[in-house]
Amino acid sequence: MLQRLHSLLPSRERLHQMRGLRWLGPRLHHPHLWRLNRRSLALGLALGVFFGLLVPVAQIPLAATLAVLLRANLPAAVASTLVTNPVTFGPVYYGAYKLGQALLGTPAHAGEEPPTLSTTDEVAGAGSWLDALLQAWDWLTDVGKPLVLGLAVVATIAGVTVYWLVQWAWVWRIRRARRQRRHRTLHPS
């Protein structure tokens, strides 16, 4: 299982080539960042999932920076930021927005579209253009509050859940291997 996991994680060389991580320099060589043990793997995956869900941009540098500071598994932190990708981005952010709306108690605006400039507004002059820009800003801030709250809740719950699931799976796997060894020694074929 560990060899398969190693093959899925980015290599040390690949991470050193990433422009967003170059500023970490020699800190990337610390051996704790590359060890695959229960604590470092669980923390690395949790950090990556947290930043992958919470932040729409610069996920990898943020997860890598915190992984370096907390001595978590760096490849796991970087790889798990890909929890949001072009396929999952839309549903995750829509669900987080709806969750944020429910938590804030704001009414759902059915089919409310962002304001746009029509050709008559463009011809009318700067006053209507400025009004449309202010309406767009109001719409964006109305969407932003529930989205940020929903993303914070989802990212926190997902990060904590991933951490404890990895911890549990690691312990379960070790206990299972011990039981199997004990069974083989007590009942040789």
Q: Is residue 120's pLDDT more than 80?
A: no
Which are the contacts of 72, defined by CB distance < 8 A and separation ≥ 6?
33, 40, 43, 44, 47, 66
| CA–CA distance, 148 with 180 (Å, rounded to integer) | 47
Q: Which two tokens stand for residue 131?
A: 């009004």
Give the pLDDT band of residue 85 (cuts 50, 70, 90).
confident
Say if residue 125's pLDDT is above 60.
Answer: no
Measured CA distances, 182 to 100, 125, 168 (Å): 50, 83, 21
DSSP label of 86 = T
List all residues 6 or more positions away from 80 whose beta carbon is below 8 Å from its beta carbon.
Answer: 44, 45, 47, 48, 49, 52, 63, 162
Q: What percent of the chain has pLDDT over 70?
A: 77
User: Does residue 159 surpass a pLDDT of 50?
Assistant: yes
Q: At 161, is the pLDDT very low, low, confident or very high (cuts 50, 70, 90)?
A: very high
For the CA atoms of 114, 120, 125, 130, the dihedral, rounded to the nearest 10 degrees, stands at -10
Q: Provide the 3-class DSSP secondary structure of residue 151.
A: helix
Q: Which pLDDT does position 44 carry in this prediction?
A: 94
* Cβ count within 10 A of residue 56: 12
For residues 25-32, average pLDDT? 72
Write down the mean pLDDT value for the chain: 82
Please give the residue that has the higher pLDDT: either 130 or 172: 172
**What integer is the mean pLDDT of 53-68?**
90
- Cα atoms in the 13 Å half-sphere on the side-chain side of 176: 6
* Residue-level pLDDT at 47: 96
* Residue 142 burial class via C-beta count within 10 angstroms: exposed 0-12, middle 13-18, buried 19 and up: middle
